[in-house]
């Protein structure tokens, strides 16, 4: 991952970079199939790519919700994807003690939005030497994220990415304020738009988070037009039966068409 952030921001193709994959690692076969499909698309379109998959889902509405297939089993799947496809991988961590464990298998450690102010967690991630992707809390302004960047850098790690995933709007909805993207870029780090989680409708009475996946393309188009360095998209071949966040994932069959349109917007603003 040496100089990887520079490569993401200054690619020969001029494209944005992409973090994409299933919400959670559900099993080896489906994870490998999703990775293979996305890599075929991103290679064709010359989009730098990072495979995303959570080895465990710690933030669940109900205690009975799917959390994972086992930490080591899921992390080994991520490791295999990185090794066999030759792409970097990213996964969430939730507690300081998980940083070193996950860093042994993946290239990018992601700090969930609800945990972006947890100083010990940020420092533990930074001290692994891996790239640290910090998701902006739904409850924070874009300007507040400079402190998260400072925490990582003061721990001796300059490899930081910030990801916007919308702002709390009432009890059951989120809204994206695109002014935040250039504001966070002013901190000297790549900024990503999470096009799927920003369309969540949390706190539903059913205990299952809802979403508006039909607007994923809209969120992504606006983010590229504003100048986002990268996009974060959770995708699945069968969102309706995905074990986590199916309500706001992009169907895998729609990914190539979506990215092709986004490249045209990127080229228009360069």
Q: Beta strand pairing status for 200-201 and 210-211? A: antiparallel
Residue 90's domain comprises 4-250
Alpha carbons 228 and 266: distance in angstroms, whole number: 9
Of 20, 78, 17, the closest CA to residue 235 belongs to 20
User: What's residue 257's pLDDT?
Assistant: 97
| Cα torsion angle, 249, 8, 91, 52, sign | positive
User: What's residue 2's pLDDT?
Assistant: 40
Average the pLDDT over 203-229 and give the result: 82
Note whether residue 259 is domain-resident. no
Q: How confident is the model at residue 248 (pLDDT cuts 50, 70, 90)?
A: confident
User: What's residue 1's pLDDT?
Assistant: 44
DSSP line for 144-182: GGHHHHHHHHHTT---EEEEE--EE-SSS-EE--TTHHH
Q: What CATH code is carried by the domain that includes residue 98?
A: 3.20.20.70
Average the pLDDT over 216-242 and give the result: 96
User: For residue range 148-190, what is the model confidence (pLDDT) as tens digits?
Assistant: 999 999 999 999 999 999 999 988 889 999 999 999 999 999 9
Of 64, 136, 77, 71, the closest CA to residue 97 belongs to 71
Average pLDDT of the chain is 91
Note whether residue 20 is domain-resident. yes
Note whether residue 265 is domain-resident. no
Note whether residue 262 is domain-resident. no
Q: Which residue has the tokens 């900024």?
A: 191
Note whether residue 270 is domain-resident. no
Average the pLDDT over 132-145 and give the result: 97
Note whether residue 256 is domain-resident. no
Note whether residue 269 is domain-resident. no
| Cα torsion angle, 58, 172, 251, 86, sign | negative
Average the pLDDT over 219-237 and give the result: 97
User: For residue range 20-56, what is the model confidence (pLDDT) as tens digits?
Assistant: 999 999 999 999 999 999 999 999 999 999 999 999 9
Number of domains in the chain: 1
């Amino acid at each position: 991952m040496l100089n990887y952030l520079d490569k993401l921001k200054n690619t020969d193709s001029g494209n944005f970079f992409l973090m994409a994959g299933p919400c959670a690692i559900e099993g080896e076969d489906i994870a490998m199939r999703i990775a293979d499909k996305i890599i075929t698309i991103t290679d064709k379109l010359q989009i730098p790519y990072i495979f995303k998959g959570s080895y465990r889902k710690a933030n669940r509405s109900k205690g009975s919700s799917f959390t994972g297939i086992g930490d080591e089993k899921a992390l080994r799947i991520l490791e295999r994807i990185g090794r066999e496809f030759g792409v970097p991988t990213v996964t969430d961590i939730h507690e300081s003690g998980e940083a070193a464990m996950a860093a042994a298998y993946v290239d990018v450690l992601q700090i969930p939005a609800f945990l972006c102010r947890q100083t010990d967690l940020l420092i533990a991630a930074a001290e692994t030497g891996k790239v640290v992707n910090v998701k902006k809390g739904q409850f924070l302004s874009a300007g507040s994220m400079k402190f998260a960047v400072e925490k990582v850098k003061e721990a001796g790690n300059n490899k930081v990415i910030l990801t916007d995933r919308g702002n709390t709007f009432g009890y059951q909805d989120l809204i994206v304020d695109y002014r935040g993207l250039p504001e966070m870029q002013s901190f000297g780090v790549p900024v990503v738009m999470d096009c799927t989680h920003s369309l969540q409708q949390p706190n539903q009475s059913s205990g299952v988070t809802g979403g508006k996946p039909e607007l994923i393309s809209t969120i992504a188009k606006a983010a590229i037009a504003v100048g986002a360095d990268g996009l974060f998209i959770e995708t699945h071949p069968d969102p309706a039966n995905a074990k986590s966040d199916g309500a706001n994932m992009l169907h895998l069959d729609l990914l190539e068409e979506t990215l092709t349109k986004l490249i045209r917007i990127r080229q228009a603003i360069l």
